[in-house]
Structure 1
């Protein structure tokens, strides 16, 4: 891939992932206030941690997709990558917008599986791309446990 096109592709990946973040957050504009009003386990993070963590994770997700894209445009890998982005965007509206904590838990389990599948598929294309998704997988694992605990407490 030529130099300019390569960097333009990175901008496209960053823009797409940013749209995913915005789409999820628009469905629940007061998620911060809703979070602090919920009964949470003692190991729940402070509300202010989510923004910085997700900003870093979204950048890593975009760079991961871009690295895999410039190495090899594997249709199956990018279908799964796209599916995990859609699942990512769907969680916030379920959990905060609709207050469907059980459905959000089922959805985050699906998201977790899609991230694992993306890591496996990207591993064959670019190990760096796959490894960039590991912090995302770990955070979603933690978020799933938190989702389940909040669902049970509320």
Structure 2
């Protein structure tokens, strides 16, 4: 398949845009509310989250591009797109639930759905393009950790 630079940039920009919206929900609470809650000993330092999420959003965008370039041969492409956007929306919603609304328990329930949707998305992408599915592995690992962290924050607070 021929590389399509505009589509590549759009796919990455879309995921980075979701990240920018999530950071909007996060920004004020990281300095005000989040420092005041009890955290487990394995809580990562705040500076780590931005580079990790930026990297993950880029990987998600690349995976989406790899699927997009094969869209004409995908029988259920609208379903694939729906699965992709569901996990992106759930990704964004978690930031608002946790950081903006300070709903740790509701965020825990939501991140569990997010993790499930990411795994489903990875499987669907893998069936279309092996690399697209494999690019989701760091995302699955990070959100698995984030789910465990969210659980511990819920217990501690």
| Uncovered stretches (5+) of structure 1, i.e. residues with no partner | none
Alignment of 1:103-142 (within 5 A): 103-142=106-145
Question: Is the CA contact 2:97–2:107 (under 8 Å) kept in the aligned structure 1?
Answer: yes
Alignment of 1:5-16 (within 5 A): 6-16=4-14
Q: Which residue of 2 aligns with 1:53?
A: 52
Alignment of 1:1-150 (within 5 A): 3=3, 6-33=4-31, 34-72=33-71, 73=74, 74-150=77-153
> CA separation in 1, counterparts of 2:104 and 2:128?
36
The Cα of 1:102 is off from its aligned counterpart by 0.6
Supply the RMSD in Å over aligned alpha carbons: 1.4
Question: Is the CA contact 2:16–2:54 (under 8 Å) kept in the aligned structure 1?
Answer: no
The Cα of 1:108 is off from its aligned counterpart by 0.3
> CA separation in 1, counterparts of 2:22 and 2:54?
13
| Uncovered stretches (5+) of structure 2, i.e. residues with no partner | none
Q: What is the TM-score normalised by the length of structure 2?
A: 0.91
Question: C-alpha offsets along residues 94-148 of structure 1, whole Å, 9 cap, x if unaligned?
Answer: 0011010011001101100110110110111101000001100110000000001
> CA separation in 1, counterparts of 2:55 and 2:26?
21
The Cα of 1:31 is off from its aligned counterpart by 3.3
> CA separation in 1, counterparts of 2:127 and 2:26?
36
Runs (4 or more) in structure 1 with deviation over 6 Å come to none
> CA separation in 1, counterparts of 2:44 and 2:112?
20
